[in-house]
């Protein structure tokens, strides 16, 4: 009775000691709040003018059916999205693998053998030893009890990384939409410049034709006619170069959407006939609220939580471990016409292990886990700064492009009027060819600048869509 009482006291003392050790474990530091990293307000002006639409369907609100069709086609069969979903599946499988460490492990084994069962002196001389058949089956169970949360911390780390992988899968979708929109607007710009180059080449060709007629009639110097021919050749070369650029950009859309190139060409022909303006959208006034909608920022925060959990798991490796095992076995022996059954079972041992000296392995694991946590925090802070830079840059570029549009249109109108007047004077013999070419270059430069400015507005909208997270919302905790 006294021995039982002493054993019970030792068990209670051991449990109290384990709880005390658990209480001495220092919790890892928390992740830095986003409000402490992000700036208090945006510096660049926010695009609140126009019709504010939902960021997630920004490209649909612009009324551009061609862009919507291209984006829908890209989202349906994108290899990058399939790869992102595969990474999510891998991360979720890792969560299941870590959770399995919290549960008891149960295994079974069975075997059968047949052979000579005799031994020296066990059988009469001159007779064959008996043939024996041995059948054996057993069940083994083991359970490592997670006293100090080491395995639970690993489950938490895997869960955080799975959530981050899910966010990055949406980031891949946002990036794909942005790439398709950028390529589409780039091809639209290229087509506009190609049309301008064709009109300019035709005008130069007509001027060269008239200059040759005037030269043959003796009214124009040969040098002037040569200048007209050189200008026409330059216009044709520009047109050929612009056509090659458009072909390359169209092939980029083919790769992004998976559609045949003739279909892309047909859709772009319809897009030229139906011009549309990009929809404006607003973003959150507070930078922290906008950055919470960035999948990559949220994934970086999940990585901080995962590294924090791994640090807790490394700290828990210092404390005692408790494991329980057991097995049940059955054995049947058949020999010489007889059968014998043997059954065994065992519950235990209930084993308590405490690391005393491991050559610094646990300390090294703790140091490595802390270094990984510090790296995750630094990457998180860097990702926030990068996000702020991308949003500010997109806002600044969009505001600057919108502010220059009125002047660019006025410049095109003025140069077009000046070119028409100079061309009329040239046909009447009151202006020379160099004056006409200078007026043509001024008009071509102004039209090109306006087309590029409108493309800058569209590119800034795409950049802001990507920088603001594409309408993604973090899941509720």
Mean pLDDT rounded to a whole number for the chain: 83
CA–CA gap between residue 154 and residue 306 (Å, rounded): 8
Per-residue model confidence (pLDDT) at position 11: 44
| Range from 56-60, 187-191, 371-375 carrying the lowest mean pLDDT | 56-60
**8 Å CB contact between 18 and 353:** no
Please tell me which of 11-25, 330-344, 450-464 the model is most confident about, judged by mean pLDDT.
450-464
- 261-273 vs 222-257: helix crossing angle, rounded to 10: 120
CA–CA gap between residue 295 and residue 176 (Å, rounded): 14
**8 Å CB contact between 266 and 440:** no
Q: Beta partners for 112?
A: 135
- Edge-first strand order for the sheet with 338-353 is 105-116, 131-145, 321-335, 338-353
Question: What percent of the chain clears pLDDT 90, i.e. is strictly above it?
Answer: 36
pLDDT digits (tens, 9 = 90+) for 183-211: 999 999 999 899 889 988 988 898 888 88
CA–CA gap between residue 242 and residue 196 (Å, rounded): 10
- Quick one: which H or E segment has residue 37? none
pLDDT at residue 13 is higher than 50: no
pLDDT at residue 7 is higher than 50: no
CA–CA gap between residue 220 and residue 266 (Å, rounded): 45
Per-residue model confidence (pLDDT) at position 1: 42
CA–CA gap between residue 98 and residue 100 (Å, rounded): 5
Alpha carbon 290 to its chain's center: 18
Question: What percent of the chain clears pLDDT 70, i.e. is strictly above it?
Answer: 86
The sign of the CA dihedral 362, 363, 368, 373 is positive
Average pLDDT on 23-48 reads 71
Pick one of 3.30.1360.30, 3.40.190.10, 1.20.1600.10, 1.10.10.10 as the CATH number of 52-103+150-325+366-399+450-467: 1.20.1600.10
Q: How confident is the model at residue 281 (pLDDT cuts 50, 70, 90)?
A: low
| Cα Rg of the chain, angstroms | 39
E-only strand ranges, 36-191: 105-116, 131-145
The candidate with the shortest Cα–Cα distance to 317, out of 283, 367, 258, 382, is 367
**8 Å CB contact between 296 and 168:** yes
For the whole model, what pTM was predicted?
A: 0.79
Per-residue model confidence (pLDDT) at position 31: 67
Per-residue model confidence (pLDDT) at position 280: 61
- On the 0-12 / 13-18 / 19+ scale of CB atoms within 10 A, 244 is exposed
CA–CA gap between residue 294 and residue 106 (Å, rounded): 43
pLDDT digits (tens, 9 = 90+) for 116-149: 755 544 556 556 667 888 888 888 888 888 888 8
pLDDT at residue 49 is higher than 70: no
Neighbours of 377 (CB within 10 A): 19
The sign of the CA dihedral 439, 243, 263, 72 is negative
Alpha carbon 139 to its chain's center: 46
Per-residue model confidence (pLDDT) at position 9: 44
Per-residue model confidence (pLDDT) at position 262: 92
The candidate with the shortest Cα–Cα distance to 196, out of 402, 398, 459, 416, is 416
**8 Å CB contact between 284 and 474:** no
Q: How confident is the model at residue 41 (pLDDT cuts 50, 70, 90)?
A: confident
The candidate with the shortest Cα–Cα distance to 101, out of 332, 297, 254, 321, is 321
The candidate with the shortest Cα–Cα distance to 441, out of 200, 238, 170, is 200
pLDDT at residue 68 is higher than 50: yes
pLDDT digits (tens, 9 = 90+) for 374-412: 999 999 999 999 999 999 998 899 889 989 999 999 999
CA–CA gap between residue 384 and residue 292 (Å, rounded): 10
The sign of the CA dihedral 226, 229, 234, 237 is negative
pLDDT digits (tens, 9 = 90+) for 74-120: 999 889 999 999 999 999 999 999 998 888 888 898 888 887 755 54
First-residue to last-residue Cα distance in the chain: 53
451 Cβ contact list (under 8 Å, min separation 6):
189, 192, 193, 196
Half-sphere exposure (Cβ direction) of 69: Cα atoms closer than 13 Å: 12
pLDDT at residue 458 is higher than 50: yes
Per-residue model confidence (pLDDT) at position 187: 92
CA–CA gap between residue 364 and residue 372 (Å, rounded): 12
**8 Å CB contact between 323 and 144:** yes
pLDDT digits (tens, 9 = 90+) for 308-365: 999 999 998 888 888 888 888 888 888 767 788 888 888 878 888 888 888 889 899 9
Neighbours of 192 (CB within 10 A): 21
Backbone φ, ψ for residue 232 (5° rounding): -65, -40
Q: How confident is the model at residue 287 (pLDDT cuts 50, 70, 90)?
A: confident
Half-sphere exposure (Cβ direction) of 199: Cα atoms closer than 13 Å: 12
Please report, for the chain, how many H helices and E strands are present, in that order. Answer: 11, 4
Domain map (residue ranges) of the chain: 52-103+150-325+366-399+450-467
- On the 0-12 / 13-18 / 19+ scale of CB atoms within 10 A, 270 is exposed
**8 Å CB contact between 140 and 107:** yes
The candidate with the shortest Cα–Cα distance to 277, out of 53, 74, 44, is 53
Q: How confident is the model at residue 293 (pLDDT cuts 50, 70, 90)?
A: confident
Token couple for 147: 């006293």
């Amino acid at each position: 009775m006294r021995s039982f009482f002493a054993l019970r006291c030792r068990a209670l003392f051991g449990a109290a000691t384990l709880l005390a050790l658990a209480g001495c474990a220092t919790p890892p530091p928390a992740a830095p709040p986003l409000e402490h990293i992000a700036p208090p307000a945006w510096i660049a002006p926010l695009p609140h003018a126009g019709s504010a639409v939902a960021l997630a369907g920004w490209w649909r609100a612009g009324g551009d059916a061609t862009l919507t069709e291209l984006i829908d086609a890209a989202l349906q069969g994108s290899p990058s999205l399939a790869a992102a979903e595969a990474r999510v599946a891998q991360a979720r499988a890792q969560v299941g693998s870590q959770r399995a460490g919290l549960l008891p492990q149960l295994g079974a084994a069975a075997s059968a053998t047949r052979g000579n069962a005799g031994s020296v002196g066990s059988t009469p001389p001159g007779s064959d030893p008996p043939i024996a058949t041995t059948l054996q089956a057993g069940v083994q169970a083991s359970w490592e009890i997670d006293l100090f949360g080491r395995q639970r911390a690993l489950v938490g780390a895997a869960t955080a990384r799975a959530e981050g992988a899910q966010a990055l899968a949406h980031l891949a979708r946002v990036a794909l939409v942005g790439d398709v929109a950028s390529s589409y607007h780039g091809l639209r710009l290229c087509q506009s410049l190609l049309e301008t180059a064709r009109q300019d080449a035709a005008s130069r060709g007509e001027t060269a034709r008239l200059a040759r007629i005037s030269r043959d009639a003796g009214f124009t110097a040969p040098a002037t006619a040569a200048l007209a021919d050189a200008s026409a050749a330059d216009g044709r070369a520009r047109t050929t170069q612009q056509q090659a650029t458009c072909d390359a950009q169209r092939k980029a859309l083919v790769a992004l959407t998976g559609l045949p190139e003739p279909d892309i060409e047909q859709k772009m022909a319809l897009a030229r006939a139906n011009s549309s303006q990009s929809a404006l959208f607003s973003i959150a006034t507070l930078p922290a609220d906008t950055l919470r909608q960035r999948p990559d920022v949220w994934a970086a925060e999940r990585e901080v939580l995962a590294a924090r959990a791994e640090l807790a798991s490394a700290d828990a490796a210092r404390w005692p471990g408790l494991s329980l095992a057991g097995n049940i076995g059955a054995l049947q022996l058949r020999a010489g016409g007889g059968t014998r059954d043997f059954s065994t079972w065992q519950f235990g041992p209930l084993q308590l292990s405490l690391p005393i000296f491991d050559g610094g392995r646990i300390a090294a694991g703790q140091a490595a886990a802390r270094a990984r946590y510090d790296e995750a925090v630094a990457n998180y802070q860097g990702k926030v700064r990068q996000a702020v830079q991308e949003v500010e840059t997109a806002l600044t570029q969009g505001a600057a492009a919108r502010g220059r549009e009125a002047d660019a249109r006025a410049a095109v109108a003025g140069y077009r009027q000046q070119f028409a007047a100079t061309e009329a004077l040239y046909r009447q013999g009151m202006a020379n060819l160099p004056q006409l070419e200078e007026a043509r270059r001024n008009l071509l430069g102004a039209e090109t600048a306006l087309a590029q400015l409108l493309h800058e507005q569209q590119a800034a909208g795409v950049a802001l869509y990507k920088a603001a997270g594409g309408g993604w919302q973090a899941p509720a905790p």
